[in-house]
A = this chain, B = another copy of it.
Amino acid sequence: MKPNFTLRLRVFNLNCWGIPYLSKHRADRVKRLGDFLNLESFDLALLEEVWSEQDFQYLRQKLLPTYPAAHYFRSGIIGSGLCVFSKHPIQEFTQHVFTLNGYPYMIHHCDWFCGKAVGLLVLHLSGLVLNAYVTHLHAEYNRQKDIYLAHRVAQAWELAQFIHHTSKKADVVLLCGDLNLHPKDLGCRLLKEWTGLHDAYLETRDFKGSEEGCTMVPKNCYVKPQDLGPFPLGIRIDYVLYKAVSGLYISCKTLKTTTGHDPYSGPPFSDHEALMATLCVRHSPPQHNPSPTHGPAESSPLTSVLREAWGEVDQGMAQAHWWATVAGYAIGLGLLLLALLCALAAGGWIREAALLLWTPSVGLVLGAGAFHLFHVQEAKSLCKTRTELQHVLGRAREAQDLGPESQPALLLGRQEGERVEEQ
């Protein structure tokens, strides 16, 4: 049995923009961030883009007295950049690396090399089990022509599925991170609809910070106008999301963001704004929810967002198949060229030119081969996502057909007793 009490949880989230050699004033910003975290003594500080493990180790040493527990989530070649500092002991941790994360040949975008992931921490606070997740999804470089859209939607789905399947026994679920998604973007809606997580910014009655809760604002001296694209007033892509289950009620008492400078009006900690939330968890008597989120109508938010995601992933799959085919033709072309060059060199004609062209031809065959294999794998991963979406969509439709009463039994997991209490 859980004690009858109120749990207050102070949470800090920041994308730290900690790229070695590239991010400006990194050492100074990390130092000041450490000082601030020590002073504020949050329950949990969840950080993204701590790309340098040295920065994490520096913070770990500095924060040790206030945050005795810490973890750095390692993955990929560069790393996930995710880490966490906790005032309370961490009972368990694990991570899931996203299957799709951009393209290795888009070297200038670098995301593929990071191994972007979601990290999970299990904490026990006053008899409650808290599952805290931290994540960072693929960046958006061009909103008008976003070649990574299908990957980001697939990541949002994998994130939602990971939370869905690992949090079934948690009392409180918390997700912080840089989603690289605007609040109304498909991935964000999919995540919220499938997990039932609530957005602290939309839920709180006490918000202080940047206009419309933006977490990248033009006032921040590290933000260039092109970072904001068609949103010169700022974008909201960093989130604190939460829910409570099993007869508990969770609310966001206060939410603050920094506003282009650090909390003491000094230079900013990062090119993103920090989020500081005070969450309150208390017992709540079970009560029937008069307005179920998933109504019986065909246009319920869950089915419509699932359908939309299905369409996006399907389109991505077609694209992946197309690239795999193009690469197949390029392999054939490269092999033809190689045979021709061999014949020319053997025949003694333009021998030097033939030898000179040998390298690019071999390069073409090998490069196109790798490109082909990569896109075959991409198509397979997108197909897996599409199949999962289709299955959930099918079940959501069945639930709708049977009416709202049957939904909890059919859409198990998300609905098991949690929708009633989490309002």
Contacts and interface: CB of A to CB of B under 8 A. Distances in A.
B91 A412 contact: yes
Interface in A344-375: 351-352, 355-356, 358-359, 362-363, 373
A384 B73 contact: yes
Given A91-B412, A413-B92, A413-B122, A74 B387 contact: yes
A380 B79 contact: yes
A318 to B, nearest CB: 16
A165 interface: yes
Contacts of A76: 377, 380
A245 B384 CA distance: 30
Interface string A178-192: 000000000000000
A147 interface: no
Contact of A122 (B71, B79, B94, B412): B412
A97 interface: yes
Contacts of A113: 373
B412 A74 contact: no
A395 B124 CA distance: 14
Interface in A35-85: 71, 73-77, 79
Interface string A233-260: 0000000000000000000000000000
A165 B120 contact: yes
A115 interface: yes
Interface string A118-142: 0010101000010000000000000
A388 B92 CA distance: 8
Contacts of A228: none
A210 interface: no
A416 B99 CA distance: 31
A234 to B, nearest CB: 34
A105 B176 CA distance: 38
A381 interface: yes
Nearest to A124: B412
A341 to B, nearest CB: 11
Interface centre among A94, A96, A165, A166 (most CB of B within 10 A): A165
A205 interface: no
Nearest to A73: B384
Interface string A389-405: 00110010000000000
Interface string A291-334: 00000000000000000000000000000000000000000000
A162 to B, nearest CB: 8
Given A352-B352, A359-B358, A92 B412 contact: yes
A168 interface: yes
Given A99-B75, A352-B355, A94 B377 contact: no
Interface centre among A73, A94, A352, A416 (most CB of B within 10 A): A94
Given A355-B356, A356-B358, 13 more contacts: A74-B381, A74-B384, A75-B381, A77-B373, A91-B412, A91-B413, A92-B412, A93-B388, A93-B391, A94-B165, A115-B380, A358-B359, A362-B363
23 contacts: A73-B384, A74-B380, A74-B383, A74-B387, A75-B99, A77-B373, A77-B380, A79-B380, A92-B413, A94-B161, A94-B388, A95-B384, A115-B380, A120-B165, A124-B412, A166-B166, A166-B168, A168-B168, A168-B169, A352-B355, A355-B356, A356-B358, A362-B363
